[in-house]
Amino acid sequence: MKMKHVLTGIVVAVAAGVLGGSVVGHADADYDHAVQTMPRGLPIEGNFHIPYFMNSVIPNSAETVTSPSDSSRQAVQITNDSNQVGSVWADRNKYYFDFTKNQRAAMWMYFGNMGDYWKAGDGMAFVVQNDYRGEQAIATTNFSTAPAVGQTLGVWGYASSLPNENETNVARRAIQNSWALEFDTFTNMKSPESANAIPGSFDFQVGSQNGVDKPQPHIASNYPGVSGKRATYETMNFEKDSYTMMTHNGLIKTPLSDGSWHHVTIDYKAPTDGTTVGSMTYTINDKRLPGSGVQEKQSSTVDFNYSLLKDPDTTGTHIPNTGLWGFTGTTGNINWENNLVVFEQMPGLVDANGSAKIYNRSHLDASGKPTEISAGQNVTGGDRLRLDYQLQYNTGRVDWDNIAAEIHLPDHVMVNAGTITYANGKTETVDLSNLSGQDLSFKLGQLLNAENRTATISLDGKADNPASDTPVTSQTSKFSGPNAIVTADTPAFNLVHSNVDFN
């Protein structure tokens, strides 16, 4: 097994609010693939800060990445080579994480194409924190100022193999007052060979099966800076030396470094019982891009106690019960990968979702309403259909405005009219002049907010009548505003040839 390695540069005062350069190309073919296939998301520049690691021999590896073929597509690169550490933080003045209100983060993540067999390393972490260093926060080594990479992912505490190592020391080297969700591509199960050995033992709990070490890429969460009663780490003796395991809350084992973009949604539910304990639900592969292969949707829910993220600010600069959020990531000098993130929804800004349904107007239910077409159901050629795309504004600090619809109609479905109905009772006619083949684009005339929460786009048309029975696949449509992006998928169905002459 190859060990992760520690970065020994000298660091660290980080200049907040400075963005890295914009990158449009890279010599690595996998990196090129990631950039060329990146989905459209929210802008990085102006929304996120990529701090410089001043006085360090190793720079912050995070960069803004722009698609060479579409300047509206941006991602943040966390790592793209060996021996790197990267961090990026949302602008706290605009995008703070409010612990007293429901929040949602949604993003696409890319973990390279190294497979699951000890080649990838090391991964990324979604972090919510109130470290006194703010955007300067990063996991450090025993030397207190040198950033620690490898199994720390830039957020967990650095664990040495010294005989006197303990959980308090490990926690002290982490990002303080934080909660982290790790996307770990390398399973650390290395017992120390000496007190000076590079440690790599956090994942004994994850990878060992019947005494056999097995690579297990995984997702898990915990509080990086906590020791004592709620200790995140457990340091144990091994012959003359020590090793440290980490408790993996809400563990999900899943392939990560497979050359595909993976969609992740993180839902925070604020406490409603007067305590400081809410819940965090994280889901991977709840959406997928065409050609991304098999991706199993998996989800886990854990407690989120924001009293453990106490803000040390005493100046009144920060809004109470809020935190800074962002991503950290690392590689070693042997194991590495391309790590990139595209953001769709940012916590607290706009929490929205979309859905799509198809109704058969040629077949009515007992109450005289069109019947809903479920996934895999048969539809007869020539049937009259209605496609409903519903947009839902749940909560947020700003309006969801300037919403652009990019609708991809299912194959063999033709539309001839459309309306938009809003929660406030107002309606609009859908402009079909931009309909090209199965693609329809237009802008919604109204914004969505707490007073006008929904918009339902209804498109009337009919099914084609192909010469033989034909499967119709699901199609994904996108609804984009400057503050949020949501998608909606139509159900797949079977189109059955009809002998009725429709001419």
Distance (Å, rounded) from C-alpha 291 to C-alpha 296? 14
Q: Binning pLDDT at 50, 70 and 90, where does residue 222 land?
A: very high
Angle subtended at Cα 71 by Cα 105 and Cα 255, rounded to the nearest 5 degrees: 45
pLDDT reading at 93 higher than 60: yes
Q: Given this model, what pLDDT does residue 184 score?
A: 97
**Residue 360: strand pairing partners:** 371, 385
Per-residue burial over 212-237, b = 16 or more CB atoms within 10 Å of its CB, e = otherwise: eeebbbbbbbbbbbbbeeebbbebee
Q: Given this model, what pLDDT does residue 375 score?
A: 94
Ranges 57-61, 270-274, 280-284: which has the least confidence: 57-61
Residue 149's Cβ-side half-sphere holds a number of Cα atoms within 13 Å equal to 32
pLDDT digits (tens, 9 = 90+) for 140-187: 887 567 888 889 999 999 998 888 889 999 999 999 999 999 999 999
E strand or H helix at 93: helix 92-95
pLDDT digits (tens, 9 = 90+) for 306-361: 999 999 988 888 999 999 999 999 998 889 999 999 999 999 899 999 999 999 99
pLDDT digits (tens, 9 = 90+) for 415-440: 999 999 999 999 999 999 999 999 99
pLDDT reading at 25 higher than 60: no
Per-residue burial over 27-65, b = 16 or more CB atoms within 10 Å of its CB, e = otherwise: eeebbebbbebbbbbbebeebbbbbbbeebebebbbbbb
29 phi and psi angles, rounded to 5 deg: -65, -35
Angle subtended at Cα 464 by Cα 459 and Cα 466, rounded to the nearest 5 degrees: 160
Distance (Å, rounded) from C-alpha 55 to C-alpha 466? 67
Residues 131 and 177: beta-carbon distance below 8 Å:
yes
Going from the N-terminus, what domains does the chain have, and what CATH number goes with each? 13-345 (2.60.120.200), 351-496 (2.60.40.740)
Distance (Å, rounded) from C-alpha 199 to C-alpha 238? 12
pLDDT digits (tens, 9 = 90+) for 164-176: 889 999 999 999 9
Per-residue burial over 173-182, b = 16 or more CB atoms within 10 Å of its CB, e = otherwise: bbbbbbbbbb
Burial degree of 250 (CB within 10 A; 0-12, 13-18, 19+)? middle
pLDDT digits (tens, 9 = 90+) for 232-253: 999 887 777 788 999 999 999 9
Distance (Å, rounded) from C-alpha 244 to C-alpha 238? 10
Q: Given this model, what pLDDT does residue 417 score?
A: 97
Q: Is the dihedral of CA 51, 52, 56, 61 positive or negative?
A: positive
Q: Given this model, what pLDDT does residue 350 score?
A: 93
Alpha helices for 123-248 (secondary structure H): 167-172, 204-207
The DSSP annotation for 250-273 comes to: EEEE----SSSEEEEEEEEE--SS
pLDDT reading at 502 higher than 70: no
Q: Of all residues in the chain, what percent carry a pLDDT higher than 90?
A: 73
**Residue 327: strand pairing partners:** 88, 126
Distance (Å, rounded) from C-alpha 163 to C-alpha 68? 51
HEC string for 380-447: ECCCEEEEEEEEEEEEECCCECCCEEEEECCCCEEEEEEEEEECCCCEEECCHHHCECCEEEEECCCC
E strand or H helix at 95: helix 92-95
pLDDT reading at 215 higher than 70: yes
**Residue 282: strand pairing partners:** 266, 300
Q: Binning pLDDT at 50, 70 and 90, where does residue 209 land?
A: low
Average pLDDT, the chain: 89
Q: Binning pLDDT at 50, 70 and 90, where does residue 94 land?
A: confident
pLDDT reading at 131 higher than 50: yes
Higher-pLDDT residue of 18 and 262 is 262
